[in-house]
Structure 1
């Protein structure tokens, strides 16, 4: 008796594209590894830079970005493959959480997938690989925490010196690595000047084109570029000591009546009263502001020429259209409160600082508030010859700031230069000997993948990676825990003795994020692509709502049309 199988019915919209099975899994892994290959060459002190050209329709509106920062490159790349985009998103979580190590996450995740690819091709179930990877991650993190060294320091001077070394290691792989001895103390001073909450928004980075990069400076206070100035601005004083500061969200400018405004008058006196009313309103506001005793007036909205001249006549400084970010920092630093009205202003809503002055920095003029007693803040003013170079310097300093900030909160560090990865790889190999079965194979693959960091450092520097890796394996087998790649000589060195330190949190987060990314891609066995909507299909085909197809000439005189 023949047996009939019921037909398979799938309730999916017509045009849905589905791909599944081993082929789809390998395809996803290949797409992720292709993205990894783009950022791989940026890893390390001698990594190469990427020039990303974003064409916005014309050469005048195009943006050119030169960077070796992994997070910046991933953000600017227009990744469309869903699996590769997932890998990029997970790597960006490293930048958001720690601030550095995005490239390491990408490279590690790519190597994990590369080493387990042959297992998938041989028919091993992805869940077995995922289980092995998660076990290997646990062993690696436990060993890393065991090896981490507390660098809190005995006193403030020693603590600062240790933090400067961490900042220098973060800057090693950046475009400004040659100036790390200049920027590392500056970054450390900026972070140490903050309050206990270490709020990152209280550190401002401003760019002033021109001059040498060594002309960059740290202002222990708030500094922002001089705002748009009206007539009478140059008559205002530009320096105050222990001045009161009032912060406003009020427009101090004469405004014309509404277009539809209509007023009926019967005599000229009434007409003049209407004209004077507008002036009386703004003068009343200005008098109330002056009566508070404030010597510096800042507003988020415009301060017109009438108000500017009014304040100049009374030796008061004013600035309108102050950027919201800068006004927020001034508010927190000087202790003031932004006011939306000038009625009933009390002394407790005014801020104060030891010194306010407007001074020239390069070709720009900056308003600088120092000696802020309420909340500590800092501003780093970056100088440089080109906009692209200053933008990359800003990104480099941001990573270093994040590293110092994390090192203060979590004062444990490990050796850099690939030393911690080599030690963890050795530990996993030794542990794999004690277990049997497929987990041993997966553990060895995970251990081999960790070696990609020192190997890539060698490749990017032009060294013989095979020779260096053999020396490192031998040294770690003999107990050289902190031996890593020596970028200066092309050999190996004790990273801890060379002060190449990184917060252990950076490495922990990188290993966890990379493992998570690899396991996520391995867990996908089918990709379903929903069809585009009818409107999207019409747009892609060049269809118009009127039924005209793609490639048809526009309405009007065309070939074959008779002129009347």
Structure 2
């Protein structure tokens, strides 16, 4: 009753219904973003209210700017942006994905899909009577095992005075192919790596503000090139 007084539009659910509603929120985000994962993912067309068109497969951009047509739950009203997400679980997932992007510069879609899959698999066991606390303990065990695996099989990159350029290219190419079509990603790989190495100072952080991106009108993406004299990428 007190909740109704604070918010007349609030929806009151019992424990089981609320749990499944939160799981459906995670599944709704997963369904929208799963088709744009990886280098073979599909590019989404976003049309704004003024008719402006944006083509992207970046999960961070999609979450911020699209009106989510979820088959499970309407998480977003008409206006875009995280502040419009209504479901609390969806808010946490969106913030987690943004934090991943802010920290690593990538992984937004993977984060949402991974969380959605965990929730989907958990729903099966919850319906069979397993307590969520048991599932959380299992997730913690799996997390520790995964971190041990990554620690064992990771490939260290020693920057030093002469960093391994091929490894840097592989990292850049993998990331770019999740955002752009293959030919453009391959072309930008060398440009990005060379631009970063050009401004890099040993034992110091890389100041990306030293790289200026200039958009050249009446040019195409294939005309992109790196100008060493001023450390500028022309677009």
The verdict on a shared fold, with TM-score over 0.5 as the criterion, is yes
Q: Does 1:380 align with 2:233?
A: yes
Pick from 110, 114, 117 the counterpart of residue 116 of structure 2. Answer: 110
In the alignment, the residues of structure 2 paired with residue 54 and residue 180 of structure 1 have an alpha-carbon distance, to the nearest angstrom, of 26
Rg comparison, structure with higher value: 1
Name the TM-score, length of structure 1 as normaliser.
0.36
String of CA shifts for 1:23-62, please: whole Å, max 9, x gaps. Answer: 111111112211111110001111111111121xxxxx33
In the alignment, the residues of structure 2 paired with residue 11 and residue 103 of structure 1 have an alpha-carbon distance, to the nearest angstrom, of 38
In the alignment, the residues of structure 1 paired with residue 4 and residue 22 of structure 2 have an alpha-carbon distance, to the nearest angstrom, of 24
Q: Shift of the alpha carbon at 1:13?
A: 5.1
Residue aligning to 1:339: none
Give the 3 Å change call, closer, same or farther, for CA 84–51 of structure 1 in structure 2: same
SS in 2 for 1:19: coil
Q: Shift of the alpha carbon at 1:172?
A: 2.3
SS in 2 for 1:81: coil
Q: Does 1:188 align with 2:193?
A: yes
SS in 2 for 1:51: strand
Residue aligning to 1:272: none
Q: Shift of the alpha carbon at 1:206?
A: 2.5
Residue aligning to 2:29: 35
Q: Shift of the alpha carbon at 1:99?
A: 0.4
Residue aligning to 1:410: none
Residue aligning to 1:173: 178
String of CA shifts for 1:437-462, please: whole Å, max 9, x gaps. Answer: xxxxxxxxxxxxxxxxxxxxxxxxxx
Q: Does 1:63 align with 2:52?
A: yes
In the alignment, the residues of structure 1 paired with residue 44 and residue 161 of structure 2 have an alpha-carbon distance, to the nearest angstrom, of 41
Contact 1:39 1:70 in 2 (8 A): yes
Structure 2 unmatched runs, 5+: 68-75, 77-84
Residue aligning to 1:129: 135
SS in 2 for 1:66: strand
Residue aligning to 1:537: none
Q: Shift of the alpha carbon at 1:214?
A: 2.6
Residues 395-474 of structure 1 mapped to structure 2, 5 A cutoff: none
Give the 3 Å change call, closer, same or farther, for CA 146–128 of structure 1 in structure 2: same
Report how many residues are paired. Answer: 212
| Cα RMSD for the two superposed structures | 2.1
In the alignment, the residues of structure 2 paired with residue 41 and residue 28 of structure 1 have an alpha-carbon distance, to the nearest angstrom, of 22
Q: Which has the higher strand share?
A: 1
The structure showing larger relative contact order (alpha-carbon pairs under 8 Å, at least 6 residues apart) is 1
Residues 355-374 of structure 1 mapped to structure 2, 5 A cutoff: 370=230
Give the 3 Å change call, closer, same or farther, for CA 92–154 of structure 1 in structure 2: closer
SS in 2 for 1:208: coil
In the alignment, the residues of structure 2 paired with residue 35 and residue 13 of structure 1 have an alpha-carbon distance, to the nearest angstrom, of 28
- Between 163-172 and 173-182, report the one with greater CA deviation: 173-182
Q: Does 1:201 align with 2:209?
A: yes
Q: Which has the higher helix share?
A: 2
In the alignment, the residues of structure 2 paired with residue 45 and residue 166 of structure 1 have an alpha-carbon distance, to the nearest angstrom, of 13
In the alignment, the residues of structure 2 paired with residue 381 and residue 136 of structure 1 have an alpha-carbon distance, to the nearest angstrom, of 45
Q: Does 1:164 align with 2:153?
A: no
Q: Shift of the alpha carbon at 1:12?
A: 4.2
